[in-house]
Amino acid sequence: GRKTAQRSGFTTAFVPNVYDFEYMKKEAAGQVTKSGLGGEVIYGNNAGKKSLDKTYLAQAAATGKLTITTLHRVTKVAPATGSGYSVTMEQIDEQGNVVATKVVTADRVFFAAGSVGTSKLLVSMKAQGHLPNLSSQVGEGWGNNGNIMVGRANHMWDATGSKQATIPTMGIDNWADPTAPIFAEIAPLPAGLETYVSLYLAITKNPERARFQFNSGTGKVDLTWAQSQNQKGIDMAKKVLDKINQKEGTIYRTDLFGVYKTWGDDFTYHPLGGVLLNK
């Protein structure tokens, strides 16, 4: 990752991180439960990450004024009689079955359901007339942070190591290049064996955007993003990584994201937008 990028004239930079690497040292030594070295990442790290339960939520809980209620899904927010808001929610079990419906009132409601969850709920509430005064910009400007994944096949003498964490710590910084503005995280591939694969999660400056819109026929909120909108990001990433392949005499892996498929372009790690700042 780093060596091959630098040999091709690219600079690398460390990725800001919230993992406790002192904990990871103990993981490697077999002293604690493995988290980052145990394959945990997409659905959260159960031990080593400095996650909200160890930071802001812990501070809030210490005040004695916080109640955390899990397995609840908000379905409606509307002005309450007099003042404040009425919040309707479904309580579900671990299989997603609704076991109860609740209504609470609050002076203020903060939406913190992520880019997708917050956008879908607000778009739905505005379209159904529950929160009619929301900005017309709600649901607009959604993007996938230009996320593209790709892997290069290293030579047999260029191993990546069988013991890898799930946490990227370094990336190729080509953001200032107007022809291929990307930051390619040098991503781990924690398979537990030597793969000889250099894996990248590229953040590209893809200008494509989409919107969330209410579907009156289904009663649900749809996203207009099309997979073809990733092509600009692919082109940017390809320009950088082609140069590395040419310098190193290597090729792309075509078996990581499907059959004979080079680019991982059907996902996002970083959904952004829908409720834009200052909009």
Q: Give pLDDT tens digits for 72-101.
A: 999 999 999 999 999 999 999 999 999 999
User: CA 90, CA 101: separation in Å to the nearest integer?
Assistant: 5
User: CA 214, CA 223: separation in Å to the nearest integer?
Assistant: 9
CB atoms within 10 A of CB 60: 13
Q: Are 237 and 202 within 8 A, CB to CB?
A: yes
Q: Is the pLDDT of residue 137 over 90?
A: yes
User: CA 145, CA 207: separation in Å to the nearest integer?
Assistant: 9
Q: Is the pLDDT of residue 2 over 90?
A: no
Q: Is the pLDDT of residue 149 over 90?
A: yes
Q: Is the pLDDT of residue 17 over 90?
A: no
Structure tokens at 212: 């969330």
Residue type, 157: W
Q: Is the pLDDT of residue 42 over 90?
A: no
Q: What share of the chain is helix, strand, coil (3-state, %, to 5)?
A: 25, 25, 50
Structure tokens at 156: 């047999």
pLDDT of residue 166: 87
Nearest CA to 197 out of 140, 253, 148, 122 is that of: 253
User: CA 186, CA 206: separation in Å to the nearest integer?
Assistant: 19
Q: Which domains does the chain have, with CATH numbers?
A: 2-68+111-274 (3.30.410.10)
- For the segment 105-122, the average pLDDT, to the nearest whole number, is 96
pLDDT of residue 13: 96
Q: Is the pLDDT of residue 139 over 90?
A: yes
- For the segment 60-64, the average pLDDT, to the nearest whole number, is 97
User: CA 171, CA 229: separation in Å to the nearest integer?
Assistant: 24
User: CA 175, CA 135: separation in Å to the nearest integer?
Assistant: 32
| Residues involved in catalysis | 185, 270
User: CA 6, CA 179: separation in Å to the nearest integer?
Assistant: 19
- For the segment 146-173, the average pLDDT, to the nearest whole number, is 94
Nearest CA to 167 out of 8, 51, 7 is that of: 51
Q: Report pTM.
A: 0.91
Q: Which residues pair with 202 in a beta bridge?
A: 148, 184
